Amino acid sequence: MRRSDTLITLLAALVVLSGGLVAGYRFTDGFQAFTLESARRLQAMNSPRLLGELPLELAEGEKRTLADWQGRYVLVDFIFTRCTTLCTAMGSGYARLQHVLASEIESDRVRLLTVSIDPRRDRLTDLAEYRLRYTKDISGWDIGRPKDEQVLAAWLTSFGVVAIPEPLTGIAHNAAIHVVAPNGRLVAIYDLGDFDSAAGYVRSKLDNPA
C-alpha cells in the first residue's frame, strides 16, 4: 500500500513537474522572454506578424492605410506631441534616420512614419509642427494619427504597443523603432536610441534581399 503510494506519487509528481516546465517554456518562449516587450521583439525576429490595413490621417489631410506603404521598408514610431521627454529624442532620431537613409528614401525603398498615440489632443497641425521641429525637409517622413481611439487601439494591438496614463507627461508607452518589411510584416524592433542599428538593419536587408 505505502509502496504503491510512493510509486503513484512519483509518477504524479513527474507529470506535474513536466506540466510546470512546459508551461514555463511556453509562457517565456523557451525561458528567453520574461517580459512582454522582449516577447514581442522575439516574435518580430522569429515569426513576424502581418500588420494589416490600419487607417491613418496624415498631417497633410490625406487618408491612408499602413498597407499603402507596402513594397518598401517603413520605420514606424509612436509619439504624442505634448510629450517633452522621450518623444523629442524620437523626433531628433528620426531626423537623423532621414539623413542617414537619404538615398534609400530617395529611391523610394524606405519611408519613415510617425504615428500619434493621442488622437484626441494631437491635431493635424500639431503633428506637422512636431515634424518641423526636427527637419525642414519633410520628404520621406510621414506623420499622422488614427482617427479615433478605436482605430488607435487597432494600431497598438497590431504592433504590441501598450500606452498607459502617466502623471508627469500624460502617457507612458513602450516606445521603439518598428521596422515593417515590404511585405507588411513587423520584422524588427529597436530600442529608442538605437537608430543606427535600425538603419543598418534596413540597409543590409536592401543590399542582400535573401
Partner 1 sequence: MTVTISARQAATASVLLWVFLITPPLRTALESSMLLHMLVQLPTLFLIGFALGWAWRQVPPQSITGRALSTLIRANRWGMTGLIAAAFTMTLWMLPRLLDSARLDFGFDVAKFLTVSLLGGLAVSVSWRATPAILRAVIHLEVVATLLRFGWGYLASEERLCLVYLVGDQQRTGGALLVLGAIYALIVVWRPLFGGLGIKSAGNSRPAV
**Phi-psi group of 135: left, alpha or beta (phi > 0 → left; psi -120 to 50 → alpha; rest → beta):** beta
Cell numbers found for residue 121? 489632443
9 part of the interface to partner 1, by CB under 8 A: yes
Q: Given the complex with partner 1, which of 12 and 67 has the nearer CB atom?
A: 12
Q: Given the complex with partner 1, which of 113 and 163 has the nearer CB atom?
A: 163
Footprint (CB under 8 A) of partner 1, residues 100-139: none
d(CA 100, CA 135): 13
92 part of the interface to partner 1, by CB under 8 A: no
19 part of the interface to partner 1, by CB under 8 A: yes
Q: Which stretch binds partner 1 (CB under 8 A): 100-108, 115-123, 159-167, 178-186?
A: 159-167
Q: Which listed residue (6, 92, 139, 197) binds partner 1 by CB under 8 A?
A: 6
- Number of residues counted as binding partner 1 (CB under 8 A): 28
Q: Which listed residue (20, 52, 71, 200) binds partner 1 by CB under 8 A?
A: 20
Q: Given the complex with partner 1, which of 20 and 200 has the nearer CB atom?
A: 20
Q: Given the complex with partner 1, which of 38 and 70 has the nearer CB atom?
A: 38
Q: Which stretch binds partner 1 (CB under 8 A): 30-38, 56-64, 80-88, 201-209?
A: 30-38
Question: Hey, what amino acid is at 95?
Answer: A
List residues near partner 1 by CB under 8 A. 5-6, 8-9, 11-13, 16-17, 19-21, 23-24, 27-28, 33-39, 162, 164, 166, 172, 174
